[in-house]
Structure 1
Amino acid sequence: MSTDYQKAREDLGRRLRELRVESPLGSLTGTELAERLGWPQSKVSKLENGRQTPTSGDLRAWAEATGHAGAFAELHGRLKGFESHIRSWRRQLAAGHRPVQDTWKTLVDDSSTLHKWASFAVDGMLQTADYARHIFEHYAALHCSPRDTEDAVRARMRRQEWLYQPGNQLNVLIWEGALRARVAPAPVLAAQLDRLSGVVGMDTVCLGIVPQDAELALPPGNSFRVIDQRLVVVEDWHAELWIDDADSVATYRRVWETFHASAVFGAEAQHVITQVRRGIERGSA
């Protein structure tokens, strides 16, 4: 997965390796450093190769064990940058929507549990091809990005293969206003709502609808995903915000649980979807 976020983590890993090899105490092997720290050798390897995000305590211990105690401030500064890593849409969409979808597929394929709050549109994992097509067209117009709509739609549909893998779980909450948003023609919206009704009760999907008249402990706010309790991706107009520090991830999980308390599921969710569909049919008559 090639992203700004991952590149920053790999850069930090290379810096950690430099400190180990250039130790004033004498160059240390990964195994020697692991023994000195009381860590498994695999942890040293993962940190140096950008496959694991270190804690502040990890960085302090590494700096001291390699004889570079003064490097901690630099390392900690790099770590703080991970807490709110901005991935601008302008940069991501420079080659169109297809590469973005491919990146997301890689990220999702490496995960088993997703929690999504969808406040403005149906989640991409549950979109029909026609609905996705209109969403991509709207965003391409907004960002003046290359129109690779059909390739992007196919890539998004391939992402949905994840739903049919045993052991995976999508927990998605959708604000009723997102269902009512006229972002596509009425027949496309009706088909999209039929798709949502069809996933109610699916083994790998827990779908909740937050009715517009439900009591809310928080305003709807931006859409976001929590991926395996390790990463949050927040969607905004100009960028995605990738957040992986434990405290912030926990905050977003609390937000998700708050909306979960206001959601309806099963037959009640299908009732809300049906009511929205009838309203769309009346409006297009």
Structure 2
Amino acid sequence: MALEPAKLGRSRSDLAALLRDERKRAGRTQTWLARRCNMSQTKVSNIEGGRLTPTPLDVELMLEALTVSDALSAEILVLARRANTEWQDHWSSRRRGLDKKQNELARLESASREFRFFLLSMITGLLATPDYVRASIADVAGDQSKTMAKKLERQQVLHDPSKSFTFILTEQAVRWPLLPPAAMSVQLDRLVSVSRIPQVRLGVIPLGGYVPERPLSTFTVYDRRLATVETGTGALLLRDHRDVSAYLAEFENYERHAVFGEECREILSEWSEAFTRQRQ
């Protein structure tokens, strides 16, 4: 299925209208449909009103109950997939202000319990030193002090005992010289420190050895309900259980190649010392 960013938002209202029309065509009430699909009447009402985005499974159940034709069902399921996919481009985020994006991420982190980060090319803000955070947004015009403050404030979530975090970083992500050698050494020491937090499991994939996987993007999986995939110009938010499951499986593949615990800390310390030697 081709996903056109301009159509993603509109597909939610289109999907709601089609589902409402098909229920009325079948001569059924919301209460009847809710009972057949093991949903509440309120949920059906919210779906038809566009206030709640149904999962593709919800839509499949509704279409089956209403005996919608195969051809129309296929069309509606395409809309359901689009409705569960959101595109956030960097330019819109920057116009709104990156500090507002940090607020959105903080709310998402507050509502989630289990986090999986695959970091292909950079260190994420939750693991970053102030210097690294500053460098990561250096190309954004204007005063970025609010964004910096919110990024650093979000790091407190790592100490929440009700949550668990797994970070997998490639060697490239860890060693990419975004900062001068001295500051990079401090950043790697920060990774060592974070890896000792009880809720955090931090691993690296060294470039040596044999890794048959072909990583294409940095991505994060929140619980088992949302995957975010970063590109050069924005991010995709995927809620379809098939998409989320695919990224969970991909994460598990990388996890098998990663080094964790004391062995990971030893590698990070070696790389930190290499940066230290560069500044001498």
The two structures have a TM-score, normalised by structure 1, of 0.82
Q: In the alignment, what sits opposite 1:234? A: 229
Q: Residues 102 and 5 (structure 1 numbering): CA distance in 2 closer, same or farther, change over 3 Å?
A: farther
Cα contact 1:10–1:50 (8 A) shared by 2: no
Distance in 2, matches of 1:10 and 1:101, equals 25
SS at 2:138 equivalent: helix
Moved more, 168-177 or 182-191: 182-191
Residue type at the aligned position of 2:243: S
Contact map agreement 1:19 1:63 (CA 8 A) in 2: no
Give the equivalent residue in structure 2 for 1:143: none
Residue 125 of structure 2: aligned partner:
124
Query: Does 1:35 find its partner at 2:35?
Result: yes
Are 1:53 and 2:54 an aligned pair?
Answer: yes
Q: Is the CA contact 1:88–1:238 (under 8 Å) kept in the aligned structure 2? A: yes
Q: State the distance in 1 between where 2:82 and 2:151 align.
A: 29
Compute the displacement of 1:45 (Å).
Answer: 5.3
1:259 matched residue in structure 2: 254
Structure 1, residues 34-90: CA drift from partner, whole Å, max 9, x if none? 1243434464356456445322x5325435656976864553232132465432212
In structure 2, give the amino acid aligned to 1:96. G
The 3 A distance-change label for structure 1 pair 213 and 165 is: same
Question: Cα–Cα, structure 1 residues 9 and 153, in superposed 2: closer, same or farther, change >3 Å?
Answer: farther
1:117-153 alpha-carbon deviations (Å, 9 max, x no partner)? 1111112211122211110114x2xxxxx43421111
Instruction: Name the aligned partner's letter for residue 104 of structure 1.
Output: L
Q: 2:204 aligns with which of 197, 209, 221?
A: 209
Q: 1:82 to 1:18 in 2, by over 3 A?
A: closer
8 Å Cα contact 1:97/1:148 also seen in 2: no
Partner residue in 2 for 1:197: 192
**Structure 2 Cα separation of the partners of residues 126 and 190 of structure 1:** 14
Which whole-Å deviations, capped at 9, do the CAs of 1:252-275 have from their partners, x for residues lacking one?
Answer: 122211111111111111111111
Q: Which residue of 2 aligns with 1:62?
A: 62
Q: Give 3-state SS (helix, strand or coil) of 1:94's partner.
A: helix
What letter is aligned with 1:11?
Answer: S
Matches within 5 A, 1:1-285: 11=13, 14-15=16-17, 18-19=20-21, 23-24=24-25, 28=29, 30-41=30-41, 43-44=43-44, 47-48=47-48, 50-55=51-56, 57-63=57-63, 72=73, 74-82=75-83, 84-138=85-139, 140=140, 146-285=141-280
Paired AA for residue 184 in structure 1: L
**1:161 and 1:5, CA in 2 relative to 1: closer, same or farther beyond 3 A?**
farther
In the aligned structure 1, how far is the partner of 2:7 from the partner of 2:106? 16
Give the number of aligned pairs.
274
Q: Structure 2: which 5+ runs fail to align? A: 1-5
Aligned-residue CA RMSD (Å): 3.0
